[in-house]
Amino acid sequence: AAGALACTLTHVFLVPVDVVKTLQQAEPFRFQGLGVLSSVLLLWRTGGPQQLLLGTVPTLLGYTWYGATVFPGYEFFKRKLLSWCGPRLGARLRVPLVLLAGALATFIACIGVCPAEAVRIRTVTAHGFRASFLNPPSALFAGFTPLLFRQVLFGMAKFLVFDTFAAAVYRRFPRLATRKKTALLVSLLSGAIAGTMATVVSQPSDAILTKLAASPKLGIVGAAGSLWARGRFQAFFAGLGTRTVWAAAIIAGQFLLYDVAKSFFRVTAADLTQTADPVTTALLSTEPAFRRLKETPTGDPGAGAAGDAGGDGP
């Protein structure tokens, strides 16, 4: 529930930035030389505030599903993989196992996100929703492959960077894990860095997805060829700056809200060792700071605030 709430709220809140990113990819010449704020103001002047909210409903539906599946899915697959490998091999193969768990969870999440994302992109590029966007149903999955690549690359980079950066911070400054405020700040910073890195590695797939969702008959090769003909490598990275802002805010917000939700419901690290709650439980078994958090009494609402946080995607 915490994962779904965090994912949904952050994506819906940043719909205007997502609209700008999508239009920068679909209509690059219209936004040439404009930053995020300038692009937002341009859309406000030309189409009113409603243009900045295009695609809100499919965003809400798609990323509620995404948050509800990718977080527990990641934790489930990670636990299973580490269990199958055993303590010694699991410790040696921790990074690839974390990446594989993220990829498997993301595959399942993409099944529900793909049609929602297709409708969202078509709504934005057509400047309004049309019932024809829903037919034929098979067209809603035309972008499944690039979406899967985008989300898998984004998810793996996000989980790995957050996991690694947060662990490094707590290893260097273990006292930060003992206070709720500093733990939340670590989650916020780790999430922002994770979102930024994940954006760069997944940007070409995102550009292909936008092109394919707007013109499903092109196919993946046709969409990639169209982008190449339009602007070579630069076309695959159109809207990168805007998407970086969007992703950094999304991921930081998700990790932060996830921690806040767990704190509110008094979910501790000890609780997470017995349930399928999301993300970086591997930290609990490898980092001294997190081991101390694990031993914190359940009555402490601040326990486990950051050590077991982990979570989106765009």
pTM over 0.85: no
Unique residue bearing structure tokens 């768990």: 101
Of 148, 150, 157, the closest CA to residue 202 belongs to 150
Q: Are 146 and 220 in contact (CB under 8 A)?
A: yes
Q: Are 142 and 222 in contact (CB under 8 A)?
A: no
State the Cα–Cα distance between residues 199 and 233, nearest whole angstrom.
16
Query: pLDDT below 50 — which residues of the chain?
Result: 269-270, 272-311
State the Cα–Cα distance between residues 279 and 284, nearest whole angstrom.
11
Q: Are 151 and 208 in contact (CB under 8 A)?
A: no
State the Cα–Cα distance between residues 298 and 300, nearest whole angstrom.
5
Per DSSP, the residues of 146-173 read HHHHHHHHHHHHHHHHHHHHHHHHHHH-
Residues 6+ apart with CB under 8 A from 298: 266, 268, 270, 271
CB neighbourhood size of 207 (10 A):
26
State the Cα–Cα distance between residues 184 and 88, nearest whole angstrom.
31
Predicted pLDDT at 80: 92
Predicted pLDDT at 255: 67
Residue type, 185: L
- The dihedral built from the CA positions of residue 145, 146, 149 and 154, taken in this order, carries a sign that is negative
Q: Domains along the chain?
A: 2-294 (1.50.40.10)
Predicted pLDDT at 180: 76
State the Cα–Cα distance between residues 82 and 162, nearest whole angstrom.
19
Question: Helix or strand or coil: residue 240?
Answer: helix
Predicted pLDDT at 313: 56
Predicted pLDDT at 56: 93
In terms of Cβ atoms closer than 10 Å to its own Cβ (0-12, 13-18, 19+), residue 16 is: buried
In terms of Cβ atoms closer than 10 Å to its own Cβ (0-12, 13-18, 19+), residue 275 is: exposed
